[in-house]
Structure 1
Amino acid sequence: MADFLGLVEQVPNVIWSGVIAAMIALAGVVLSNRSNNYRLNAQLLHDASEKHRDRVEGLRREIYLQVSDEVALASNYVSSLVGGDLDNTDIRSELKGVTTALARLSLVAEAQVTGVANKLVSHYGMLMMRIFQEMYPVKVIGQEINKVEARLVLLSGEVTDTLKKITNLEGLEGSREEISRLKLQYEKQSLLVQTCESDLGELNESYRTHVGQSNNALLPSFYEMSKLQMELMMVIRKDLGVDTDVEGFQKQLELQWEVMRAAYADVARAIGK
C-alpha cells in the first residue's frame, strides 16, 4: 500500500490534471449521449404516435365518407318500400351497406358519434317493422285487386265472344232460339261484368284509403329518421373539425319537412277525389 501511494506521489501534477480533465470530458460525453438517447427515444415515440394518429384519422375520414353515402342510399331504399313489393324484399341484403358502414364506424369513431350511429341502426329496424305492419293491409287489398282485374278481363272476353256469336247468327233461318239463349247468356255475363267493376271500384277506393292511412302513420317515423341522420352528420362534422351551423341545419330540415307535409297533403287530397 505504501509503495502504491509512493508511486502516486511521484506522478507529476501535470499528468494528474490531464487525467482529471479526461475523466470530466468522458463524463460529459456519457451525460450528453444519455440525454441524446432520451431525446431520440422521445422523438421516436412521438413520431410513432403521430403516424398512428394519422392512420386512424385517415381511416376515420374514409369510413365517415362511406357512412354518408350509405345513409343516403338507405334512406331512399326505406322510403321506396312504402307501396312497394314487400314479398320480394330482402331487407338484410338491401341494408347491408349501411349496417356494415356503421359497424366499421364504431371501431374508429368517438363515443358520441358511435352513440348516434347505434340509435340510427335501431331506428332502421323499428321503421322496417312499422312499414311491414302498416303496408300489410295494402298488400292484401292489392292482391285482391289483381284477382278481380283478372276475372274482369276474362268476363269481358266472354261478353265479346257472345256478342260476336249473336251478330253471326242474326238473319239466319232457324237461329232465333239460339239467339235468344245467347242474349240471356249475354245479360248474365254483362251483370257479372258490372258486379266485377263495382267490386274493383270499391277495392281501389279501399286501397287509396289504406295507403293514405299508412303514409300518415309512417310520416313521424320517417321524420325521426331524417333527424337522426342529420344528427349523425353533425357529430361527424364536429369530429372532423368542420365548422357546422347546427341551428341552421335544423331550421333547414324543419323547412324541408313543412314543404314535404304540404305536398303530401295535396297528393292525398288528389288521390281521395
Structure 2
Amino acid sequence: MAEAQPAYMEELIRLILSIPASIGGALIGACITLIGACIALGGVLLTNRNGTKRLRIQLAHDSAEKSKERIAGLRKDIYLKMVEELTNANAHLANLPQKDATKEDLAEALRPFFATSAKLQLVAEPKTALLVNDLTASYGEMVFKSLEKLIPLHRIRNDIALSDDLYNQARNEATRVLAEIVKFNEAARIDDQVFNALQRSFTHFNTLADKHAEDRKIAWENFNRLNAEYGRQMLIEIRQIGDKQIPVQVEIRRDLGLVSDLEVFKAQMEMQWQKTSTQFDRLIQGLEGKI
C-alpha cells in the first residue's frame, strides 16, 4: 500500500499545477538562462584565474631573469677585477725586498686584492666562493711568510744606506782636505806642521771612506744572498698557489656562463702551468746556485 505523502508536499504539487503553462515555461526558460549565465561567468572567472596565474609566472620569470642579469653584471666586473688584483699581488710580493718599510706601508698594495676577494665571495656561487676563500687564505699565509723573510733584508738595506751615507761624508771630507793640500802646495807654503796635519786628516778620512765602502760591499753581498733566497721561496709559494688558481678560474668561467669547452680550457691551463712550473724549477735551481 502506497505511503501517504506529507500534507506540505501535496500543497506544493497543487501550487505548481495551478501555475499557468505560459508562466511555467517562462520560469523554466529563466532558470535555464540563469544557469547558462552562471556557467559563462564561471568560464570567465576560470579564464581570468588562468590568465592571472600565467601573468604571475611570467612576472616571476622576468624578475628571476633580471636578477640573473644583475648578478651576472656584478660578477663580471668583480671577477675581472679579481684577475687584475691577483697579478698585482704577485708583482707586489715579488718586489717587496726593494721596498723601504720606513717610508711606505708594505701591506697597502695588497688591500685591493683582499677587498676584491671579499666582494667576489658575496656574489659567487657557493663552490666558487669556497675555492676563492681557500686561495685568499693561501695568499694571506704567503704574506706572513714573506714578511718574516723580509725583516733581515730590510735591516741590511738600512745598513747599506748608513754605510753609503758615511762613505759619502768621509769621501767628501777627504776631497776637501785634498783640496787644502793642493792649495798649500800651490801657495809654496813651508809650514810642516800644517802640511802634516792636512796629510793626517786626509789619511784619516780616506781610510774611513775605504772602511765604509767595504762595509757597504759586504752588506750588498748579504742582501743579494738573502734576496735570492727570498726569490726562491716566493717561487715555491707561487707555484703552490698556482695549483689552486686553476679550479678557481674554471669555476669563475662556469659562473659567468662560459661553459663551452670547459674541460678543454682546464686542460690547457694545466698544461700551461706545467710549463711555467718547469721554468720555475730551473730558476730555483739557478737561485740555489747563487745562495
TM over 0.5: yes
Matching residue's letter, 1:208 = N
Distance 1:45 1:173 in 2: 105
Distance 1:127 1:221 in 2: 7
TM-score (norm 2): 0.79
Q: Contact (CA 8 Å) 2:235, 2:284: kept in 1 or not?
A: no
Three-state SS of the structure 2 residue aligned to 1:228 is: helix
Q: Contact (CA 8 Å) 1:142, 1:207: kept in 2 or not?
A: yes
Counterpart of 1:146 in structure 2 is 161
Match of 1:247 among 251, 267, 271: 267
Distance 2:33 2:78 in 1: 66
Q: Contact (CA 8 Å) 2:97, 2:154: kept in 1 or not?
A: no
Counterpart of 1:100 in structure 2 is 115
Three-state SS of the structure 1 residue aligned to 2:217 is: helix
Counterpart of 1:224 in structure 2 is 240
Cα-to-partner distance string for 1:40-84 (whole Å, 9 max, x where unaligned): 333333333333333323333332223223333333233322332
Distance 1:175 1:187 in 2: 18
Counterpart of 2:71 in structure 1 is 56
Moved more, 149-158 or 37-46: 37-46
Match of 1:234 among 232, 250, 262: 250
Matching residue's letter, 2:41 = L
Q: Contact (CA 8 Å) 2:128, 2:252: kept in 1 or not?
A: yes
Which of these two proteins has the greater Rg computed from alpha carbons? 2
Distance 2:66 2:55 in 1: 16
Matching residue's letter, 1:247 = A
Counterpart of 1:11 in structure 2 is 24
Gaps of 5+ in 2: 1-10
- Tell me, yes or no, if structure 1 residue 201 matches structure 2 residue 214: no
Distance 2:95 2:273 in 1: 20
Matched length:
271
Which structure would you say has the larger RCO, counting Cα contacts within 8 Å and 6 or more residues apart? 1
Distance 1:34 1:205 in 2: 86
> Shift of the alpha carbon at 1:20?
4.1
- Tell me, yes or no, if structure 1 residue 122 matches structure 2 residue 142: no
Three-state SS of the structure 2 residue aligned to 1:85 is: coil
Gaps of 5+ in 1: none
Q: Contact (CA 8 Å) 1:155, 1:189: kept in 2 or not?
A: yes
> Shift of the alpha carbon at 1:173?
5.1
Distance 2:102 2:219 in 1: 20
- Tell me, yes or no, if structure 1 residue 259 matches structure 2 residue 279: yes
Moved more, 197-206 or 133-142: 197-206
TM-score (norm 1): 0.83
Match of 2:200 among 171, 184, 200: 184
Cα-to-partner distance string for 1:6-60 (whole Å, 9 max, x where unaligned): 5497522872544444443333333333333333333333333333333323333
Three-state SS of the structure 2 residue aligned to 1:42 is: helix
Residues 59 and 146 of structure 1: CA distance in aligned 2, closer, same or farther (over 3 Å): closer
Q: Contact (CA 8 Å) 2:232, 2:287: kept in 1 or not?
A: no
Distance 2:211 2:95 in 1: 34
Distance 2:20 2:230 in 1: 108
Distance 1:162 1:117 in 2: 65
> Shift of the alpha carbon at 1:257?
3.4
Counterpart of 2:46 in structure 1 is 31
Distance 1:45 1:117 in 2: 31
> Shift of the alpha carbon at 1:260?
4.3
Three-state SS of the structure 1 residue aligned to 2:98 is: coil
> Shift of the alpha carbon at 1:86?
2.6
CA RMSD of superposed structures (Å) = 3.0
> Shift of the alpha carbon at 1:92?
5.4
Residues 188 and 97 of structure 1: CA distance in aligned 2, closer, same or farther (over 3 Å): closer
Matching residue's letter, 1:112 = K
